[in-house]
Amino acid sequence: MRRSTAAVLSTALSATLLSGLWAASSAQATVLGTTTDTVTATLTLDPTGTVDANGYVTISGTYRCSPLPVGIGLLTSTLGMYQGPTCDGAEHTFVDRRRPAREQLYTVGPVDVTANVAWMRQGSYPVILQTTVVASDTRTVDLQAAAG
């Protein structure tokens, strides 16, 4: 089966662009010298949280992370993912309110929660993104009935 000239050129161009991106990724990571040693963070979960009549759970805590040399920060918990943290070296508070999946509905009482500050950055082929947990806190959070 013969392919059109346009298809052959398109395939060649795609392969060239991808190989160029892979090469740039490796070179960029080497030049920047980013390692997990360059990122520091702390995280503390509050000992209490709330759950409302509709199943929405709220947990909170504080975190601190150093400025990231490259990449993005993530603040995650066993409930799901919170927006990216502000990594500027200062202490910040976070509040994570969400309704977990149906098979994970929570009620008033103790629940084990893990929260992490993670750093995601561009890796080299075949791992395009590398994620490293730089701070973590696991504790039993006492869920109380939400007011109202």
Candidates 3.30.160, 2.30.29, 1.10.3470, 2.60.40; CATH matching 34-145: 2.60.40
* Residue 70 near residue 34 (C-beta atoms within 8 A): yes
Buried b (16+ CB within 10 A) or exposed e, 18-35: eeeeeeebeeebeeeebe
Predicted local distance difference test score (pLDDT) of residue 126: 65
Question: Which range has the worst mean pLDDT, 15-19, 55-59, 123-127?
Answer: 15-19
For the chain, the structural domain boundaries read 1-32, 34-145
What would the pLDDT profile of 43-101 be if each residue is shown by its tens digit? Answer: 999 999 999 988 899 999 999 999 888 888 889 888 877 778 889 999 999 998 988 77
